[in-house]
């Protein structure tokens, strides 16, 4: 993967999310998608982090986003909320099950 276009902060909770979204959009919108985002510094986060990533994916359009260095705790949170797709490449709007199985229909 190429170097990141944007890096998430160490803390991304409901308090930081609005400002970080504005910062991310300023940094990313001049670039063609996929937008490359480094999540390796994330230490403290809540579901606002997932909402921010979903919004960035939406704004990136068909090119989507590419995440690198995603903390395992964020993957676990995404799976618990049923939005694991937001962390995957390709922008498929289907979340995998806990063991990586396809979703039940």
Per-residue confidence band for 91, with pLDDT thresholds at 50, 70 and 90: very low
Domain span at 43:
6-87
What gap in Å lies between CA 3 and CA 6, rounded to an integer? 9
Alpha helices, DSSP H, located in the chain: 17-28, 47-60, 72-81
What gap in Å lies between CA 40 and CA 43, rounded to an integer? 8
What gap in Å lies between CA 56 and CA 44, rounded to an integer? 19
Quote the pLDDT of residue 2.
65
What gap in Å lies between CA 16 and CA 12, rounded to an integer? 6
What gap in Å lies between CA 28 and CA 76, rounded to an integer? 26
What pLDDT, in 10s, does the model give residues 31-89?
Answer: 998 999 999 999 999 999 999 999 999 999 999 999 999 999 999 999 999 999 999 85
Q: Is the pTM of this model over 0.85?
A: no
Q: Is residue 44 part of a domain?
A: yes
CATH code of the domain containing 77: 3.30.750.24
Is 60 exceeded by the pLDDT of residue 8?
Answer: yes
Number of domains in the chain: 1
Quote the pLDDT of residue 88.
84
Query: Do residues 69 and 40 lie in contact, with contact meaning Cβ atoms separated by under 8 Å?
Result: yes
């Amino acid at each position: 993967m190429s170097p990141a276009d944007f890096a998430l902060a160490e803390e991304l909770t409901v308090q930081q999310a609005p400002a970080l979204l504005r910062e991310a959009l300023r940094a990313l919108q001049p670039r063609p998608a996929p937008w490359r985002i480094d999540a390796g510094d994330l230490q403290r986060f809540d579901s606002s982090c997932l909402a921010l990533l979903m919004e960035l994916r939406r704004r990136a359009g068909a090119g989507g986003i590419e995440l690198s260095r995603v903390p395992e705790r964020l993957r676990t949170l995404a799976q618990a909320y049923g939005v694991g797709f937001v962390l995957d490449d390709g922008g498929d709007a289907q979340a995998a099950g806990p063991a990586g199985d396809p979703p039940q229909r």
